[in-house]
Structure 1
Amino acid sequence: MHIKSLRLFFGLPLPHRQAAAIDVWRNGLALDGRLVARHNLHLTLAFLGSQPVERLGELQRLAGQVRGQGFELRLDRLEVSRHGLVSLGTSQPPEALLQLAGELNDTLRAAGYSLEERAFWPHLTLARQCRKHPAPGSPPDFAWTAERFVLFHSTSDEQGTVYHPLFHWPLAMPHL
C-alpha cells in the first residue's frame, strides 16, 4: 500500500511528566465523553488536514523559517464548550506563543496552505463529546517551558488515534 496523503498539524508537545499530571487531574473530573489519550495531549498551532506526502519537504523548509522564542505556558482555566469539548486554556497567553502561532500560520498561508480562518485559540483538548459539565473543583494549574514545536502526523485505526511526531524545531531560549 502506497500512502499518498497524511493528516498533519503543527503543535506544542507536552513533557511526559506534565502529560501524566494532567491525565491524573482529568481522570478526577469523571468526564463522560471521549478522552484524548495521554500520549496525544498537545496544543495545536496550525491544523493542515490531509496533505500530499510530497509536501513534507516543503513543510520542513517553511517551519524552519519560523524563528520562535521559548516561553512558559501556564494552563490555568478549565473550558467547556456547548459542543461538548472540554479543554485546558490559559488566562494569560504568552506573547511568544501568539507570535509563534501567528508567524507559522502566516508562513503557511503565504505558501498556499488553506488554514482555518478563526482566531488562534490556545487550548489543550482533554475530551470531546461530553454531555455533562465537570463538577467545579480547584482550578487547574499546569505549566511547562515550551522549547520546541512539532509537525505531527495523525493516524487512526481500531485501536484509536495516535499523533506521531515527524519533525521538530527548537525555540530560542532566553538567557536568564
Structure 2
Amino acid sequence: MRRPLRAAQSSAAGHDERLFFALWPDAPLRDALCRYQRHPDAGGRPIANCQLHLTLAFAGRVSPAQGQGLRDAAATVTERRFFLSLDWLDHFRATRVQWLGPRRPPDALLRLAAVLRGHCRAAGIAQPEANFQPHVTLQRQIRRPLRGAVAPALGWWVDHFVLVESGAQGRAGDYRVVSRWPLR
C-alpha cells in the first residue's frame, strides 16, 4: 500500500471533519493564478492565494471512521501524473463565481476525479451526478463575469493530490492540507 507524502492529522481526535480531495498548486502557480483575479470589472471577492485549489471530490462533514476510510482509499490510487493546462476563464452564474480551468480537461484528470468520487461513494458520502467541471475558483460574488474566454495558459505538472480539511471539528473555515499522495 502506498503511503501519503505527509502523515494524516485529524483536527481533533474523535471529532467530525469537513474534507475534500483537491489538486493543490505550488506557490509560483498560485501567484500566477492571482494575476487572473485582477479583472477590474468583475467586482468580486478574490480567493486568498493560500486557498487556491482545484477540487476533485467534496466529501463534506464526515465521521472520524469515514475520514480514515478516505485516507486509506486514497493510498490505493494508482493514477499517473499528468500535465494540466489552465486556459479557459468562465463563471458559474448561479453562484456568481469566476474561475479558471482547462478548456479540454485531460483524461487523467477526469479519471482521478472519478476514482476519488468513487471512494467517497464507497464510504457512504453522496456525490453529485452532474458532469465534473474542473476549475480553480478565483473570485466569489462577481458582478460582471468574464464569459467563456480563452486565457493565456498556465501549465501545471500534476504529480500529487491532497486531502484538505475545511475548518475544524466539522465546521466550515480555512483550508488545511492534512494528507498528500503522489501520482505515479
TM class by shorter chain equals 0.7 to 0.9
Look up the SS of the partner of 1:65 in the other structure.
coil
Which residues of structure 2 form unaligned runs of 5+?
A: 1-11
Match of 1:102 among 114, 117, 124: 114
Instruction: Name the amino acid aligned to 2:28.
Output: R
Match of 1:90 among 102, 105, 115: 102
Greater relative contact order (Cα < 8 A, sep 6+): 2
Which residues of structure 1 form unaligned runs of 5+?
A: none
Residue 67 (structure 1) aligns with? 78
Look up the SS of the partner of 2:56 in the other structure.
strand
Deviations 1:93-138 (A, max 9, x none): 1111111111111222123221222111111111111111249988
Tell whether the 8 Å contact from 1:9 to 1:45 is kept in structure 2 after alignment: yes
Q: Which has the higher mean CA deviation after the structures are superposed, 39-48 or 102-111?
A: 102-111
Equivalent residues in 2 for 1:160-175 (5 A)?
161-172=173-184
CA distance in 2: counterparts of 1:72 and 1:10, whole angstroms: 18
Match of 1:152 among 148, 161, 164: 164
Residue 52 of structure 2 corresponds to residue 44 of structure 1 = no
Residue 16 of structure 2 corresponds to residue 8 of structure 1 = no
Q: CA deviation at 1:32?
A: 1.4
CA distance in 1: counterparts of 2:67 and 2:16, whole angstroms: 10
Count of equivalent residues: 169
Match of 2:124 among 112, 115, 125: 112
Off by >3 Å, runs of 4+ in structure 1 = 28-31, 134-138
CA RMSD of aligned residues (A): 2.4
Instruction: Name the amino acid aligned to 1:103.
Output: V
Residue 92 of structure 2 corresponds to residue 81 of structure 1 = yes
Look up the SS of the partner of 1:44 in the other structure.
strand
- When normalised by structure 1's length, the TM-score is 0.86
Cα 1:67–1:13 shift into 2, 3 Å: same
Residue 25 (structure 1) aligns with? 36
- When normalised by structure 2's length, the TM-score is 0.82
Residue 123 (structure 1) aligns with? 135
Instruction: Name the amino acid aligned to 1:131.
Output: R
